[in-house]
Structure 1
Amino acid sequence: MPKIVDHDQRRRELAGAVQRVIARDGVAEVSIRTVAAESGWSSGALRHYFATRDELLAFACEQVIEQVTARIAEMPADGPVREVARRALLETMPVDPARHTESAIAFGFLALGLGDPALARVQRLHFSSMFELCVRVSGALTPDLDEPGRRAAGRRLHAVVDGLTVHVLAGHLTAAEMVAELDAFLGSLP
Protein backbone atom coordinates (compact mmCIF):
# COMPACT_ATOMS: atom_id res chain seq x y z
CA MET A 1 0.00 0.00 0.00
CA PRO A 2 1.49 3.39 -0.96
CA LYS A 3 2.40 5.81 1.78
CA ILE A 4 -0.01 8.74 2.08
CA VAL A 5 1.90 12.00 2.33
CA ASP A 6 0.34 15.15 3.77
CA HIS A 7 1.93 17.72 1.47
CA ASP A 8 0.57 20.69 3.42
CA GLN A 9 2.10 19.30 6.61
CA ARG A 10 5.42 18.78 4.81
CA ARG A 11 5.38 22.40 3.60
CA ARG A 12 4.65 23.60 7.16
CA GLU A 13 7.57 21.49 8.43
CA LEU A 14 9.83 23.17 5.89
CA ALA A 15 8.56 26.59 6.96
CA GLY A 16 9.50 25.63 10.53
CA ALA A 17 12.99 24.71 9.31
CA VAL A 18 13.25 28.15 7.65
CA GLN A 19 12.30 29.78 10.96
CA ARG A 20 14.95 27.77 12.81
CA VAL A 21 17.65 28.71 10.29
CA ILE A 22 16.69 32.38 10.59
CA ALA A 23 16.62 32.23 14.39
CA ARG A 24 20.04 30.64 14.51
CA ASP A 25 21.87 32.18 11.53
CA GLY A 26 19.80 35.06 10.12
CA VAL A 27 17.74 35.56 6.94
CA ALA A 28 20.83 35.83 4.74
CA GLU A 29 21.70 32.20 5.50
CA VAL A 30 18.42 30.77 4.23
CA SER A 31 19.01 28.64 1.16
CA ILE A 32 17.64 25.41 -0.26
CA ARG A 33 20.76 23.68 1.08
CA THR A 34 20.59 25.10 4.64
CA VAL A 35 16.87 24.45 4.97
CA ALA A 36 17.27 20.92 3.59
CA ALA A 37 19.99 20.24 6.16
CA GLU A 38 17.88 21.73 8.97
CA SER A 39 14.86 19.65 8.01
CA GLY A 40 16.81 16.44 7.43
CA TRP A 41 15.73 16.35 3.80
CA SER A 42 17.79 16.25 0.65
CA SER A 43 17.90 19.39 -1.48
CA GLY A 44 16.22 17.44 -4.27
CA ALA A 45 13.32 16.40 -2.05
CA LEU A 46 12.88 19.96 -0.83
CA ARG A 47 12.78 21.23 -4.43
CA HIS A 48 9.65 19.13 -5.01
CA TYR A 49 7.90 21.61 -2.72
CA PHE A 50 9.85 24.83 -3.34
CA ALA A 51 11.84 25.39 -6.52
CA THR A 52 13.65 28.48 -5.26
CA ARG A 53 14.82 30.17 -2.08
CA ASP A 54 12.34 32.98 -2.72
CA GLU A 55 9.40 30.54 -2.87
CA LEU A 56 10.57 29.01 0.40
CA LEU A 57 10.88 32.42 2.07
CA ALA A 58 7.50 33.54 0.72
CA PHE A 59 5.80 30.47 2.15
CA ALA A 60 7.59 30.91 5.49
CA CYS A 61 6.39 34.53 5.63
CA GLU A 62 2.82 33.50 4.82
CA GLN A 63 3.03 30.94 7.63
CA VAL A 64 4.18 33.65 10.04
CA ILE A 65 1.23 35.84 9.05
CA GLU A 66 -1.14 32.91 9.64
CA GLN A 67 0.47 32.04 13.01
CA VAL A 68 0.27 35.59 14.32
CA THR A 69 -3.27 36.07 13.02
CA ALA A 70 -4.37 32.83 14.71
CA ARG A 71 -2.75 33.81 18.02
CA ILE A 72 -4.49 37.18 17.99
CA ALA A 73 -7.85 35.62 17.07
CA GLU A 74 -7.53 33.16 19.96
CA MET A 75 -6.66 35.83 22.54
CA PRO A 76 -9.25 36.49 25.21
CA ALA A 77 -10.84 39.90 24.72
CA ASP A 78 -11.47 40.41 28.43
CA GLY A 79 -10.03 43.30 30.37
CA PRO A 80 -9.56 46.99 29.70
CA VAL A 81 -9.58 47.90 26.00
CA ARG A 82 -6.09 49.42 26.14
CA GLU A 83 -4.65 46.23 27.68
CA VAL A 84 -6.36 43.99 25.11
CA ALA A 85 -5.03 46.24 22.33
CA ARG A 86 -1.53 46.17 23.83
CA ARG A 87 -1.54 42.35 24.02
CA ALA A 88 -2.65 42.08 20.39
CA LEU A 89 0.05 44.47 19.19
CA LEU A 90 2.75 42.71 21.21
CA GLU A 91 1.87 39.45 19.44
CA THR A 92 3.25 41.08 16.28
CA MET A 93 6.41 42.52 17.83
CA PRO A 94 9.81 40.96 18.69
CA VAL A 95 9.36 40.63 22.46
CA ASP A 96 10.80 37.12 22.71
CA PRO A 97 12.96 34.83 20.53
CA ALA A 98 10.02 33.27 18.66
CA ARG A 99 8.41 36.60 17.82
CA HIS A 100 11.85 38.05 17.00
CA THR A 101 12.24 35.32 14.37
CA GLU A 102 8.73 35.98 13.01
CA SER A 103 9.52 39.70 12.76
CA ALA A 104 12.84 38.99 11.04
CA ILE A 105 11.06 36.84 8.46
CA ALA A 106 8.33 39.41 7.84
CA PHE A 107 10.71 42.36 7.58
CA GLY A 108 13.12 40.36 5.45
CA PHE A 109 10.52 40.83 2.76
CA LEU A 110 10.82 44.58 2.80
CA ALA A 111 13.97 44.49 0.66
CA LEU A 112 13.19 41.25 -1.16
CA GLY A 113 9.79 42.50 -2.30
CA LEU A 114 11.23 45.57 -3.98
CA GLY A 115 12.67 43.58 -6.87
CA ASP A 116 10.37 40.59 -7.21
CA PRO A 117 6.61 40.82 -7.91
CA ALA A 118 5.89 37.43 -6.32
CA LEU A 119 7.64 38.46 -3.11
CA ALA A 120 6.04 41.90 -3.28
CA ARG A 121 2.66 40.11 -3.02
CA VAL A 122 3.70 38.58 0.30
CA GLN A 123 5.09 41.91 1.46
CA ARG A 124 1.75 43.58 0.70
CA LEU A 125 -0.07 40.78 2.55
CA HIS A 126 2.10 41.37 5.63
CA PHE A 127 1.65 45.14 5.54
CA SER A 128 -2.09 45.06 4.80
CA SER A 129 -2.71 42.52 7.58
CA MET A 130 -0.80 44.64 10.06
CA PHE A 131 -2.50 47.83 8.90
CA GLU A 132 -5.97 46.30 9.33
CA LEU A 133 -5.04 45.15 12.85
CA CYS A 134 -3.88 48.68 13.68
CA VAL A 135 -7.11 50.17 12.30
CA ARG A 136 -9.16 47.77 14.47
CA VAL A 137 -7.02 48.59 17.52
CA SER A 138 -7.30 52.33 16.85
CA GLY A 139 -11.06 51.99 16.48
CA ALA A 140 -11.29 50.18 19.82
CA LEU A 141 -9.08 52.75 21.56
CA THR A 142 -10.82 55.78 20.06
CA PRO A 143 -14.39 54.68 19.28
CA ASP A 144 -15.57 58.24 18.61
CA LEU A 145 -13.49 58.49 15.41
CA ASP A 146 -15.21 58.16 12.07
CA GLU A 147 -13.88 55.69 9.47
CA PRO A 148 -11.34 58.10 7.88
CA GLY A 149 -10.15 59.06 11.37
CA ARG A 150 -9.75 55.40 12.38
CA ARG A 151 -7.76 54.70 9.22
CA ALA A 152 -5.51 57.71 9.85
CA ALA A 153 -5.00 56.67 13.48
CA GLY A 154 -4.34 53.11 12.27
CA ARG A 155 -1.63 54.39 9.89
CA ARG A 156 0.08 56.23 12.77
CA LEU A 157 -0.13 53.19 15.04
CA HIS A 158 1.17 50.95 12.25
CA ALA A 159 4.14 53.30 11.75
CA VAL A 160 4.90 53.23 15.48
CA VAL A 161 4.68 49.43 15.75
CA ASP A 162 6.75 48.83 12.61
CA GLY A 163 9.28 51.48 13.61
CA LEU A 164 9.76 49.99 17.06
CA THR A 165 10.05 46.51 15.54
CA VAL A 166 12.72 47.64 13.09
CA HIS A 167 14.66 49.29 15.92
CA VAL A 168 14.71 46.01 17.85
CA LEU A 169 15.67 43.99 14.78
CA ALA A 170 18.51 46.45 14.09
CA GLY A 171 19.70 46.26 17.69
CA HIS A 172 18.93 49.91 18.49
CA LEU A 173 16.37 49.01 21.15
CA THR A 174 15.96 46.08 23.49
CA ALA A 175 12.62 44.31 23.64
CA ALA A 176 11.97 45.89 27.04
CA GLU A 177 12.70 49.38 25.67
CA MET A 178 10.38 48.68 22.72
CA VAL A 179 7.56 47.65 25.07
CA ALA A 180 8.12 50.78 27.19
CA GLU A 181 7.91 52.96 24.07
CA LEU A 182 4.72 51.20 22.91
CA ASP A 183 3.23 51.70 26.37
CA ALA A 184 4.18 55.39 26.28
CA PHE A 185 2.54 55.80 22.87
CA LEU A 186 -0.63 54.00 23.92
CA GLY A 187 -0.69 56.05 27.11
CA SER A 188 -0.57 59.27 25.08
CA LEU A 189 -3.76 58.41 23.20
CA PRO A 190 -6.98 60.07 24.37
Structure 2
Amino acid sequence: MPKIVDPEARRRAVAQAVLAVVAQRGLEGASLRNVAEEAGLAIGSVRHYFTDHDELMIFAMRELGRRTGERIRAHAERLLAPDGDLDRRAATEELLAEFLPLDDARREEAVLWITFTAATHTRPELRPCAAEMQQDMRDLVARVLSEARRMGGMPADLEVDVESRRLTALLDGLTLQAALLPDRMPPKQLRQVLRRHLDALRSGG
Protein backbone atom coordinates (compact mmCIF):
# COMPACT_ATOMS: atom_id res chain seq x y z
CA MET A 1 0.00 0.00 0.00
CA PRO A 2 1.52 3.38 -1.00
CA LYS A 3 2.56 5.70 1.80
CA ILE A 4 0.22 8.65 2.28
CA VAL A 5 2.12 11.95 2.49
CA ASP A 6 0.65 15.05 4.10
CA PRO A 7 1.51 17.79 1.55
CA GLU A 8 1.58 20.59 4.13
CA ALA A 9 3.78 18.58 6.48
CA ARG A 10 6.15 17.82 3.60
CA ARG A 11 6.27 21.49 2.59
CA ARG A 12 7.15 22.42 6.16
CA ALA A 13 9.84 19.75 6.29
CA VAL A 14 11.37 21.17 3.12
CA ALA A 15 11.17 24.68 4.60
CA GLN A 16 13.03 23.44 7.69
CA ALA A 17 15.69 22.07 5.34
CA VAL A 18 15.96 25.51 3.72
CA LEU A 19 16.49 27.12 7.11
CA ALA A 20 19.14 24.55 8.03
CA VAL A 21 21.01 25.18 4.78
CA VAL A 22 20.77 28.97 5.14
CA ALA A 23 22.12 28.71 8.69
CA GLN A 24 25.12 26.73 7.40
CA ARG A 25 25.80 28.29 3.99
CA GLY A 26 23.86 31.52 3.75
CA LEU A 27 20.96 32.30 1.47
CA GLU A 28 23.03 31.88 -1.67
CA GLY A 29 23.78 28.31 -0.64
CA ALA A 30 20.10 27.36 -0.51
CA SER A 31 19.94 25.88 -3.99
CA LEU A 32 17.28 23.29 -4.80
CA ARG A 33 19.97 20.63 -4.88
CA ASN A 34 21.34 21.53 -1.45
CA VAL A 35 17.86 21.83 0.06
CA ALA A 36 16.78 18.49 -1.40
CA GLU A 37 19.92 16.83 -0.03
CA GLU A 38 19.30 18.33 3.43
CA ALA A 39 15.67 17.16 3.34
CA GLY A 40 16.62 13.68 2.13
CA LEU A 41 14.56 14.09 -1.05
CA ALA A 42 15.10 14.09 -4.78
CA ILE A 43 15.07 17.50 -6.47
CA GLY A 44 11.96 16.40 -8.34
CA SER A 45 10.17 15.84 -5.05
CA VAL A 46 10.97 19.39 -3.92
CA ARG A 47 9.71 20.76 -7.22
CA HIS A 48 6.51 18.79 -6.73
CA TYR A 49 5.64 20.90 -3.67
CA PHE A 50 6.97 24.28 -4.83
CA THR A 51 6.53 25.81 -8.26
CA ASP A 52 9.90 27.56 -8.20
CA HIS A 53 12.79 28.62 -6.00
CA ASP A 54 11.18 31.96 -5.10
CA GLU A 55 8.06 30.25 -3.73
CA LEU A 56 10.26 27.94 -1.67
CA MET A 57 12.23 30.86 -0.17
CA ILE A 58 9.07 32.81 0.67
CA PHE A 59 7.49 29.77 2.30
CA ALA A 60 10.65 29.13 4.35
CA MET A 61 10.66 32.78 5.47
CA ARG A 62 7.04 32.46 6.56
CA GLU A 63 7.80 29.20 8.34
CA LEU A 64 10.51 30.98 10.31
CA GLY A 65 7.98 33.64 11.28
CA ARG A 66 5.42 30.98 12.19
CA ARG A 67 7.80 29.35 14.65
CA THR A 68 8.36 32.61 16.49
CA GLY A 69 4.71 33.62 16.16
CA GLU A 70 3.42 30.49 17.88
CA ARG A 71 5.44 31.23 21.00
CA ILE A 72 4.44 34.88 21.01
CA ARG A 73 0.74 34.12 20.52
CA ALA A 74 0.79 31.83 23.55
CA HIS A 75 2.10 34.72 25.66
CA ALA A 76 -0.36 37.16 24.08
CA GLU A 77 -3.39 34.98 24.78
CA ARG A 78 -2.37 34.72 28.42
CA LEU A 79 -1.62 38.43 28.76
CA LEU A 80 -4.77 39.65 27.06
CA ALA A 81 -7.09 37.23 28.87
CA PRO A 82 -9.24 38.68 31.70
CA ASP A 83 -7.20 37.17 34.54
CA GLY A 84 -7.12 39.36 37.64
CA ASP A 85 -4.36 37.31 39.29
CA LEU A 86 -1.89 37.69 36.42
CA ASP A 87 1.21 39.83 36.96
CA ARG A 88 0.71 41.82 33.77
CA ARG A 89 3.97 43.74 34.06
CA ALA A 90 5.98 40.51 34.16
CA ALA A 91 3.80 38.90 31.48
CA THR A 92 4.34 41.90 29.18
CA GLU A 93 8.09 41.64 29.59
CA GLU A 94 8.02 37.89 28.88
CA LEU A 95 5.98 38.41 25.71
CA LEU A 96 8.30 41.11 24.37
CA ALA A 97 11.36 39.08 25.36
CA GLU A 98 10.28 36.40 22.86
CA PHE A 99 11.41 38.77 20.12
CA LEU A 100 14.96 38.76 21.52
CA PRO A 101 17.73 36.14 21.04
CA LEU A 102 17.89 35.05 24.67
CA ASP A 103 19.07 31.49 23.99
CA ASP A 104 20.78 29.50 21.24
CA ALA A 105 17.53 28.60 19.45
CA ARG A 106 16.26 32.16 19.36
CA ARG A 107 19.71 33.45 18.39
CA GLU A 108 19.73 31.12 15.39
CA GLU A 109 16.23 32.32 14.45
CA ALA A 110 17.40 35.91 14.75
CA VAL A 111 20.39 35.33 12.50
CA LEU A 112 18.14 33.63 9.95
CA TRP A 113 15.63 36.46 10.08
CA ILE A 114 18.38 39.06 9.59
CA THR A 115 19.69 37.04 6.64
CA PHE A 116 16.29 36.95 4.95
CA THR A 117 15.41 40.58 5.60
CA ALA A 118 18.83 41.79 4.43
CA ALA A 119 18.25 39.86 1.21
CA THR A 120 15.11 41.88 0.44
CA HIS A 121 17.43 44.59 -0.91
CA THR A 122 18.26 42.40 -3.91
CA ARG A 123 15.33 39.95 -3.77
CA PRO A 124 12.14 42.00 -4.10
CA GLU A 125 9.98 38.86 -3.95
CA LEU A 126 10.81 38.63 -0.23
CA ARG A 127 9.83 42.22 0.60
CA PRO A 128 6.06 41.74 1.03
CA CYS A 129 6.65 38.93 3.51
CA ALA A 130 9.16 40.98 5.51
CA ALA A 131 6.86 44.01 5.53
CA GLU A 132 3.86 41.94 6.60
CA MET A 133 5.70 40.33 9.49
CA GLN A 134 7.12 43.64 10.66
CA GLN A 135 3.62 45.10 10.63
CA ASP A 136 2.28 42.10 12.57
CA MET A 137 4.95 42.70 15.21
CA ARG A 138 4.09 46.39 15.49
CA ASP A 139 0.36 45.65 15.66
CA LEU A 140 0.89 43.17 18.49
CA VAL A 141 3.08 45.59 20.44
CA ALA A 142 0.49 48.33 19.93
CA ARG A 143 -2.23 46.03 21.20
CA VAL A 144 -0.20 45.14 24.28
CA LEU A 145 0.55 48.79 25.06
CA SER A 146 -3.05 49.81 24.46
CA GLU A 147 -4.30 47.12 26.84
CA ALA A 148 -1.70 48.12 29.44
CA ARG A 149 -2.90 51.72 29.17
CA ARG A 150 -6.51 50.62 29.57
CA MET A 151 -5.64 48.59 32.68
CA GLY A 152 -3.74 51.48 34.24
CA GLY A 153 -0.29 49.98 33.74
CA MET A 154 0.71 52.78 31.36
CA PRO A 155 0.00 56.53 31.46
CA ALA A 156 -3.44 57.52 30.17
CA ASP A 157 -1.84 59.90 27.66
CA LEU A 158 0.54 57.27 26.22
CA GLU A 159 0.81 57.70 22.44
CA VAL A 160 0.41 54.06 21.48
CA ASP A 161 1.27 54.46 17.80
CA VAL A 162 4.51 56.34 18.48
CA GLU A 163 5.53 54.14 21.41
CA SER A 164 4.81 50.90 19.54
CA ARG A 165 7.11 52.09 16.75
CA ARG A 166 9.77 53.08 19.28
CA LEU A 167 9.53 49.76 21.10
CA THR A 168 9.68 47.64 17.94
CA ALA A 169 12.71 49.65 16.79
CA LEU A 170 14.35 48.95 20.15
CA LEU A 171 13.62 45.21 19.87
CA ASP A 172 14.95 45.14 16.30
CA GLY A 173 18.11 46.97 17.32
CA LEU A 174 18.76 44.76 20.33
CA THR A 175 18.20 41.66 18.20
CA LEU A 176 20.65 42.86 15.56
CA GLN A 177 23.34 43.69 18.12
CA ALA A 178 22.90 40.44 20.03
CA ALA A 179 22.92 38.34 16.87
CA LEU A 180 26.06 39.96 15.50
CA LEU A 181 27.91 40.54 18.79
CA PRO A 182 26.53 38.06 21.33
CA ASP A 183 29.47 38.51 23.74
CA ARG A 184 28.83 42.25 24.00
CA MET A 185 25.05 41.94 24.34
CA PRO A 186 24.31 38.85 26.48
CA PRO A 187 20.76 37.83 27.45
CA LYS A 188 20.96 39.47 30.88
CA GLN A 189 21.77 42.81 29.32
CA LEU A 190 19.01 42.44 26.72
CA ARG A 191 16.49 41.94 29.49
CA GLN A 192 17.86 44.89 31.45
CA VAL A 193 17.47 47.24 28.49
CA LEU A 194 13.94 45.99 27.77
CA ARG A 195 12.96 46.26 31.45
CA ARG A 196 14.38 49.79 31.71
CA HIS A 197 12.43 50.86 28.64
CA LEU A 198 9.18 49.45 29.99
CA ASP A 199 9.78 51.14 33.34
CA ALA A 200 10.32 54.43 31.51
CA LEU A 201 7.06 53.99 29.62
CA ARG A 202 5.18 53.34 32.86
CA SER A 203 6.59 56.49 34.41
CA GLY A 204 5.81 58.57 31.33
CA GLY A 205 9.46 58.89 30.31
Q: TM-score, normalised by structure 2?
A: 0.79
Give the Cα–Cα distance (whole angstroms) in 1 for the partners of residues 60 and 88 of structure 2. Answer: 32
3-state DSSP of counterpart to 2:5: coil
Give the Cα–Cα distance (whole angstroms) in 2 for the partners of residues 140 and 25 of structure 1. Answer: 42
- Which residue does 1:19 correspond to in 2? 19
Relative to structure 1, the CA distance from residue 159 to residue 45 in structure 2 (aligned partners, 3 Å threshold; closer, same or farther) is same
- Which residue does 1:128 correspond to in 2? 135
Give the stretch that moved more between structures: 59-68 or 4-13.
Answer: 59-68
Give the Cα–Cα distance (whole angstroms) in 1 for the partners of residues 24 and 94 of structure 2. Answer: 26
Give the Cα–Cα distance (whole angstroms) in 2 for the partners of residues 187 and 94 of structure 1. Answer: 21
* Contact persistence 1:13–1:39 (CA under 8 A): yes
Give the Cα–Cα distance (whole angstroms) in 2 for the partners of residues 113 and 166 of structure 1. Answer: 16
- Which residue does 1:157 correspond to in 2? 167
Relative to structure 1, the CA distance from residue 117 to residue 26 in structure 2 (aligned partners, 3 Å threshold; closer, same or farther) is closer
| 1:10 positional shift | 0.3
Given residue 188 of structure 2, which amino acid in structure 1 is its aligned partner? A
Give the Cα–Cα distance (whole angstroms) in 2 for the partners of residues 160 and 94 of structure 1. Answer: 13
Percent identical residues: 33
Query: C-alpha root-mean-square deviation of aligned residues, in Å?
Result: 2.4
Given residue 48 of structure 1, which amino acid in structure 2 is its aligned partner? H
| 1:23 positional shift | 4.1
| 1:53 positional shift | 4.3
- Structure 2, unaligned runs of 5 or more: 80-84
1:88-107 deviations in Å (ceiling 9; x for gaps): 11222211122222222322
Pick the structure with greater CA Rg: 2
* Contact persistence 2:27–2:116 (CA under 8 A): no
* Contact persistence 1:62–1:122 (CA under 8 A): yes
1:47-80 deviations in Å (ceiling 9; x for gaps): 2223554433321221122222222222333632
Aligned length, in residue pairs: 189
